[in-house]
Amino acid sequence: MRAGLEHMKPFLLLSSAALAASMASGSAIADKASDTLSVPFTKELESVDSYFNSAREGVILQRSIWDGLLFSDPETGEYKGNLATSWEWVDDTTLELKLREGVKFHNGEEFDADDVVYTVNFVADPANGVVTQRNVNWMKEALKVDKYTVQIVTNGPFPAALEYLAGPVSIYPNEYYAEVGPAGMGLKPVGTGPYRVESVEPGKHFVLKKYEGYHDSPKGEAVIGTVDIRTIPDVNTQLAELFSGGLDFVWGVPSDQAEKLEAMGRFNVVNESTMRIGYLEMDAAGRSGADNPMTKRAVRQAINHAIDRQAIVDNLLKGKSKIVNSACFPSQFGCAQDVATYDYDPEKAKALLAEAGYSDGLSVDLYAYREREYAEAMLAYLAEVGIKANLKYLQYSALRDLRTNGQTSLSFQTWGSYSINDVSAITSQFFKFGGEDFARDEEVRDWLETADTSVDPEVRKEFYAKALKKIADEAYWVPLFSYNVNYVSTEEVDFTPSADEVVRFFQVSWR
């Protein structure tokens, strides 16, 4: 036993050397020689149709399969034309765009204003049930001016429009989409993007092929011929596949494993920060019950003081993660940093609890859907100040249902803002009386509304700051930390991550 385990690691290295020498025995064809990049998805994607999923995996596919009207350069944040070539605000609520000519969808359908109009009008209609309404509900409708000119009309002034048009709003072929609908699109997606979809086995296997007829987009042409995506739910299995040559490229590797992989010297390990932040959502509004302890500000502040966020960042997240104090990611437009902060102070937390009438402690359910170990670490911190939290670990969709029904009093959430570098993508998402708003603070809502709809950046900043300050003062959330992502690949793969947590297959190449 003793000798066996001691020799485990050298043996691992040895076997990897043997692997490098011989060919991989893994069944999947995954390497430079076959021009196939094999990658895993962690989640079973409910639908490939990007308007009908809310997963990171969906965003990744969306960027490869479809194009937006605009493109946002991941490095500079500058907007470039993609399916549109130029754009102009006609008034506060009307954006006119000239469309690129000669673009063809994967099925041969020609791209023109009809596609934009159909797509926008379809997704903007709440009755069609786009999953993330925030992405589309700012649009009122699209109007065709001529074959290559459209106008998008917004529901009131919406300064972040360009960010959304470069992000989640992708353009679908009108004839095809009208015929097959979201279900058909999910099974056989058609777009204009750098990759076309060769095959879809719902939830488990997707094969992308380079689209040879790709237009002259700022995204650039795809380099790798085939991207083979399999759903492998367990990171650990993903790594095992990486070792045995079944995968070329894995992301979202937890920091412990990433450190070990880096030490092996056999893989490229890159850490990049992301826009995703983690936070605890507390039922200040009493949606889950008016007598809920979370309705008391002192309790919420106590929880803020109880958790040693720095220790969690230093020991669990590592990498480029930082603690956050405001209810947004620091780089986002409007994310005010001069808000009330709560340092780790268990004594103060206990005092606050006593003040709220819980000197004997209290019991609460803590819901979580990812990073069970972070949640567990927080359980222990809460226990130290006398809050007995029972962990309820659910899948995301199940937890989302509970939240929208207002049944959670304390939950560990994360939000990646769809990589939109604007506070409207996060704070406004959660504090404007939506299903996931557990603060229900009218003042905050109104400030956010003002900021969201103003075209003056200074006004926006001012009102976002007001809202964020009140959120911090009232301790509606416990903002925890920003996430980082570890990207691990074989040495054959050349990839530079961007800070938006989106893997762009068309920018991956072989070394």
Partner 1 sequence: MLTFALKRLGLAVLVALTVSAVSFSLLYLSGDPASAMAGESATSADIEALRRLYGFDRPFLVQYADWLFSALQGDFGQSYYFKLPVSQLIADRLSITMLLGVCGISFALVTAIPLGVAAAVRPNSFIDRTALFISVMGQALPSFWFGLVLIVIFSIQLNWLPPSGSGSWKNFIMPTVVLGYYAMPAIMRLTRAGMLEVLNADYIRTARAKGAGEWRVMFKHALRNAVVPVVSLAAVQMGFMLGGSIVVESIFALHGAGYLAWESIGRNDLPTVQALILVFAGFYIVFTFLSDLANAWLDPRIRVG
Partner 2 sequence: MARDIDTLAEEIQGPSPAAILRRRVFGHYGLLFGATALLVIVALAVLAPLLAGHDPYAQSLVARMKPPFWMEGSDPNHLLGTDHLGRDYLARLLYGARISLAIGLIAALISGLIGTTMGVAAGYFGGRVDLVVTFLVNVRLAMPVVLVALAVVAVLGGSLQVVIVVLGFLLWDRFAVVMRSSTLQVRGLEYVNAAKAIGCSTRRIILSEIMPNILNNLIVVMTLEMAHAILLEAALSFLGLGVQPPTPSWGLMISEGKQMMLFEPWVIAIPGVALFILVLAINLLGDGLRDITAPENRS
Q: Name the binder of 231 from partner 2, partner 1, none, CB < 5-8 A by kind.
A: partner 1
Looking at 99-107, 378-386, 400-408, 484-492, which segment touches partner 1 (CB under 8 A)? 400-408
In this complex, which beta carbon is closest to partner 2, that of residue 369 or of residue 463?
Answer: 369
Tell whether residue 153 is a contact of partner 1 (CB under 8 A): no
Tell whether residue 436 is a contact of partner 1 (CB under 8 A): yes
Strand extents, DSSP E, 409-470: 410-415
State the minimum distance, in angstroms, from the CB of residue 392 to partner 1: 12
C-alpha angle 196/200/206, rounded to 5°? 70
Tell whether residue 182 is a contact of partner 1 (CB under 8 A): yes
Q: Can you say whether the dihedral through the CA atoms of 491, 495, 496, 502 is positive or negative?
A: negative
Tell whether residue 34 is a contact of partner 1 (CB under 8 A): no
Whole-number Å distance between alpha carbons of 30 and 38: 5
Residue type, 167: G
Whole-number Å distance between alpha carbons of 249 and 183: 29
Applying CB under 8 A, which of residues 104, 344, 434, 492 lies at the interface with partner 1?
A: 434
Tell whether residue 388 is a contact of partner 1 (CB under 8 A): no
In angstroms, the first-to-last Cα distance of the chain is 41
* 8 A C-beta contact, residue 480 and residue 279: yes
Whole-number Å distance between alpha carbons of 260 and 253: 11
Looking at 179-187, 265-273, 297-305, 370-378, which segment touches partner 1 (CB under 8 A)? 179-187
Contacts of 115 (CB under 8 A, 6+ apart): 105, 109, 171, 172, 173, 174
Tell whether residue 237 is a contact of partner 1 (CB under 8 A): yes
Q: Name the binder of 225 from partner 2, partner 1, none, CB < 5-8 A by kind.
A: none
Q: Is 151 helix (H, G, I), strand (E, B) or coil?
A: strand
**Integer angstrom CA distances of residue 373 from 225, 273, 465:** 38, 20, 32
Q: Name the binder of 73 from partner 1, partner 2, none, CB < 5-8 A by kind.
A: none
Contacts of 330 (CB under 8 A, 6+ apart): 322, 324, 337, 482
Tell whether residue 18 is a contact of partner 1 (CB under 8 A): yes
Residues 190-229 that bind partner 1 (CB under 8 A): 201-205
In this complex, which beta carbon is closest to partner 1, that of residue 323 or of residue 439?
Answer: 439
In this complex, which beta carbon is closest to partner 1, that of residue 484 or of residue 489?
Answer: 489
Residues in contact with partner 2 by the rule CB under 8 A: 1-2, 5-6, 8-9, 12, 234-236, 239-240, 243, 254, 256-257, 260, 308, 311-312, 314-316, 372-373, 375-377, 379-380, 383, 390-393
Strand extents, DSSP E, 112-165: 139-146, 149-154
Applying CB under 8 A, which of residues 46, 345, 355, 449 lies at the interface with partner 1?
A: 46
Q: What is the DSSP string of 225-276?
A: SEEEEEE---HHHHHHHHHTTS-SEEE---HHHHHHHHHHTSEEEEEEEEEE
State the minimum distance, in angstroms, from the CB of residue 315 to partner 2: 4
Tell whether residue 252 is a contact of partner 1 (CB under 8 A): no
Q: Name the binder of 19 from partner 1, partner 2, none, CB < 5-8 A by kind.
A: partner 1
Name the residue among 251, 227, 224, 226 with its Cα closest to residue 239.
251
Applying CB under 8 A, which of residues 88, 90, 102, 129 lies at the interface with partner 1?
A: 129
The pair of structure tokens assigned to 311 is 């220790």
Q: Name the binder of 202 from partner 1, partner 2, none, CB < 5-8 A by kind.
A: partner 1
Q: Which residues bind partner 1 (CB under 8 A)?
A: 8, 11-12, 15, 18-19, 24-28, 44, 46-47, 52, 126, 129, 131-133, 182-183, 186, 201-205, 230-234, 237, 240-241, 243-246, 394-395, 397-398, 400-401, 404-405, 434-436
